[in-house]
């Protein structure tokens, strides 16, 4: 996959791309990342990328021409590319969106600064606008790095077999169970006995219950539309949480039907 970032602060992308899994994906050639300095595509004497807003008011707006020139330079002709603007009014980013974006050949992440980008650039070139959450940043760069990180780890061969994405929080619709490592006792707290038993089926049942209870407590909204197999239902019944789960799922379904 090609990932290209359009920014007036290319240095933002240096160290986040030089660590851990993203670094390895780059070295293995699984991804190619281009960081393009919008300023290099300004044509005036002072390389201006911003200008005063029409209609007056505070702050500056990013000029459309340097952005479009930069975009044309970044775009791989003939590739299935997606142009994304990071902005607080975008659609909220989530794991499902990361999975969808991971299927494109090229992502072009446009990072705004100042008060935002000229509306005509957005209309003409932006395929989708993405928000990573309900807060305002000083620019789109950190949001672009979040999207980039979440997408890269989903690409084939990027995670080793010991770090598979299939057991992550959200991948199966539930939050991931909590983890333990050595020592067996830390500050008087022991590791749950079942995890030491070597009984893989019992461990799997324990983790399912842990996941479901954590999701009920923290993110019951994630249980909407959730379906459990008869074996899973049996495990949840034995753990005494099945009724609570069914009630939560039913309540969410009712809430949804009242919305529509
Ligand atoms: C800001 C904005 C506010 C209201 C309506 C539209 C808007 N567009 C932008 C915008 O493109 N802002 C640029 C990027 C310039 C100012 C700083 N920027 C920004 C992006 N701040 N916060 C984000 C952001 C991006 C993704 N998820 C959360 C916040």
pLDDT in tens, 54-113: 999 999 999 999 999 999 999 999 999 999 999 999 999 999 999 999 999 999 999 999
What is the fold of 2-152? Alpha/beta knot (3.40.1280)
pLDDT in tens, 12-36: 999 999 999 999 999 999 999 999 9
Answering whether pTM is above 0.85, one says yes
Examine the residue annotation and report whether 168 is marked as an active-site residue of this protein. Answer: yes
Structure-block tokens of residue 13: 């992308």
Any idea which residue has 């249980």 for tokens? 223
The residue from 113, 122, 153, 207 that is catalytic is: 153
Tell me the CATH number for domain 185-259.
Answer: 1.10.1270
Any idea which residue has 């991931």 for tokens? 176
- Polymer length in residues for the chain: 260
Within 10 Å of residue 76's Cβ, how many Cβ atoms?
14
Residue 163 — very low, low, confident or very high, per pLDDT cuts 50/70/90? confident
Structure-block tokens of residue 54: 């029409």
Examine the residue annotation and report whether 187 is marked as an active-site residue of this protein. Answer: no
Residue 166 has pLDDT above 80, yes or no: no
- Alpha-carbon distance of 49 to 65, in angstroms, equals 9
176 near 167, Cβ under 8 Å?
yes
Structure-block tokens of residue 143: 């949001």
Q: Where in the chain is the domain with CATH 1.10.1270?
A: 185-259
pLDDT in tens, 191-239: 999 999 999 999 999 999 999 999 999 999 999 999 999 999 999 999 9
Pocket of ligand 1 (CB under 6 A): 86-89, 112-117, 131-133, 136-140, 143
Helices 200-218 and 242-259: crossing angle in degrees, nearest 10, is 40
Ligand 1 mean position, distance from CA 112 (Å) = 7
Residue 260 — very low, low, confident or very high, per pLDDT cuts 50/70/90? low
Pocket residue to mutate for ligand 1, from 116, 126, 135, most atoms within 8 A of Cβ? 116
Please state, rounded to an integer, the average pLDDT across all residues of the chain. 96
Distance from the first to the final alpha carbon of the chain = 38
């Amino acid at each position: 996959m090609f990932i290209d970032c359009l920014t007036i602060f290319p240095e933002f992308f240096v160290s986040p791309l030089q660590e851990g899994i993203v670094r390895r994906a780059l070295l293995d050639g699984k991804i190619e990342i281009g960081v393009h300095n919008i300023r290099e595509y300004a044509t005036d004497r002072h390389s201006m990328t911003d200008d005063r807003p029409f209609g007056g008011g505070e702050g500056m707006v990013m000029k459309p021409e340097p952005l479009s020139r930069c975009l044309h330079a970044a775009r791989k002709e003939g590739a299935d590319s997606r142009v994304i603007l990071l902005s607080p009014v975008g659609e909220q980013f989530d794991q499902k969106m990361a999975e969808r974006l991971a299927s494109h050949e090229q992502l072009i992440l446009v990072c705004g600064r100042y008060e935002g980008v000229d509306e005509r650039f957005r209309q003409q070139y932006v395929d989708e606008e993405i928000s990573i959450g309900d807060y305002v940043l000083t620019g789109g760069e950190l949001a672009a790095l979040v999207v980039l990180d979440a997408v890269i780890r989903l690409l084939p061969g990027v995670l080793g077999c010991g770090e598979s994405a299939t057991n992550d929080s959200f991948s199966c619709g539930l939050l991931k169970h909590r983890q333990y490592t050595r020592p067996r006792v830390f500050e008087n707290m022991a590791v749950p006995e079942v995890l030491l038993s070597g009984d893989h089926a019992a461990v799997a049942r324990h983790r399912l219950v842990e996941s479901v209870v954590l999701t009920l407590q923290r993110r019951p909204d994630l249980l909407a539309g959730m379906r459990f197999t008869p074996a899973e239902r049996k495990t949840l019944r034995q753990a005494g949480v099945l009724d609570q789960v069914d009630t939560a799922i039913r309540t969410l379904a009712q809430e949804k039907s009242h919305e529509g």
